[in-house]
């Protein structure tokens, strides 16, 4: 079928086996075991994330968290300078004060515009139940089914939105990115949990179209992961038996 959501830019024309390719290979291997119900045959994954009883880590590794937000609310402190002295001094002081206020106004307006703000770098752990971002200040746990939107916006960037529990700041939803080599695994697990008809999942746009062929050429053959995932997401054999919750 056509790919309305193509592979994010950055994957084209890769020939050498890269670090991201290695993560993609393991992503496919994990997903194949996940779909086929063979996770119990995989070795345990080490992680510093706090897991609930009965939960299991599928992968862990480095990640950077980014949040779409403003750095300020547009307000600033205006200086009301009162100068005394000769006319030249008073005029120059007033001009300098006006310029300073104008600069503070521009800076406040700029800070009120949302942008991607890096929150911190830490460990990300993907389990059967949750996304764990481990960080001493900005750590977060997200259940797979708590996500409201998802996408793979770059080969190594997973983006999602979810309800904001702190509604007092007037922001009903939080939009967050995780930059990690496990981004494709993040996307597929989230899609299988709550977005089985996502165009990127149905169009197989979470993996470079030639990846499985390249794996065979380079002596790293894989099970037909994209087809296995597609069957599971669209109600094929074994569908829904191992979805994260």
Count of Cβ atoms closer than 10 Å to residue 18 Cβ: 13
Biggest alpha carbon–alpha carbon distance for the chain: 89
How far apart CA 193 and CA 242 sit, in angstroms, is 9
pLDDT at position 76 over 50: no
- Interhelix angle 183-194/19-36, nearest 10 degrees: 30
CA 95 to chain centre: 47
Q: What pLDDT is recorded for position 96?
A: 62
How far apart CA 218 and CA 241 sit, in angstroms, is 33
Q: How far apart are the first and last CA of the chain?
A: 29
19-70+117-233 sits in which CATH class? Answer: mainly beta
How far apart CA 43 and CA 66 sit, in angstroms, is 31
pTM of the full structure: 0.78
pLDDT in tens, 136-185: 999 999 999 999 999 999 999 999 999 987 665 667 889 999 999 999 99
How far apart CA 48 and CA 106 sit, in angstroms, is 43
pLDDT at position 105 over 70: no
Residue 128: name the closest of 46, 29, 242 by CA: 242
Indicate the pLDDT class of residue 99, thresholds 50, 70 and 90.
low
Q: Which residue's entry shows tokens 């994990």?
A: 30
> What DSSP designation does 185 have?
H
How far apart CA 222 and CA 17 sit, in angstroms, is 15
Domain range list for the chain = 19-70+117-233, 72-113
> What DSSP designation does 5 have?
S
- Interhelix angle 225-233/19-36, nearest 10 degrees: 50
More confident residue, 110 or 145: 145
Average the pLDDT over 82-101 and give the result. Answer: 57
Q: What pLDDT is recorded for position 243?
A: 47
Beta strands 57-69 and 140-143: pairing type?
A: unpaired
Residues in the chain: 245
pLDDT in tens, 190-242: 999 999 999 999 999 999 999 999 999 999 999 999 999 988 876 443 333 44
How far apart CA 176 and CA 118 sit, in angstroms, is 10
pLDDT in tens, 32-72: 999 999 999 999 999 999 999 999 999 999 999 999 987 75
Q: What pLDDT is recorded for position 89?
A: 47
**Token output for 70:** 């403003």
């Amino acid at each position: 079928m056509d790919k309305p959501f193509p592979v994010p830019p950055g994957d084209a024309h890769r020939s050498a086996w890269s670090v991201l390719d290695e993560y993609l290979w393991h992503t496919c291997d994990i997903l194949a075991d996940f779909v086929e119900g063979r996770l119990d045959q995989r070795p345990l994954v080490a992680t510093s994330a706090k897991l609930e009883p009965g939960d299991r880590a599928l992968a862990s590794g480095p990640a950077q968290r980014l949040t779409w937000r403003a750095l300020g609310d547009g307000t600033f402190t205006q200086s009301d300078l009162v100068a005394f002295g000769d006319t030249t001094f008073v005029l120059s002081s007033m001009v300098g004060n006006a310029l300073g206020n104008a600069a503070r106004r521009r800076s406040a307006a700029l800070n009120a515009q949302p942008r991607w703000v890096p929150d911190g770098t830490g460990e990300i752990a993907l389990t059967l139940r949750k996304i764990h971002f481990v960080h001493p200040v900005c750590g977060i746990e997200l259940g797979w089914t708590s996500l409201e939107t998802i996408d793979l916006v770059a080969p190594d960037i997973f983006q999602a939105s979810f309800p904001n529990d702190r509604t007092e700041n007037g922001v009903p939803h939080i939009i967050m990115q995780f930059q990690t080599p496990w981004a494709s695994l993040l996307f597929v697990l989230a899609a299988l949990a709550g977005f089985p008809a996502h165009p990127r999942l149905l169009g197989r746009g979470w993996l470079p179209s030639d990846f499985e062929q390249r794996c065979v050429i380079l002596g790293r053959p894989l099970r037909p992961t994209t087809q296995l995932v597609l069957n599971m997401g669209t109600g094929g054999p074994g569908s829904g038996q191992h979805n994260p919750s």
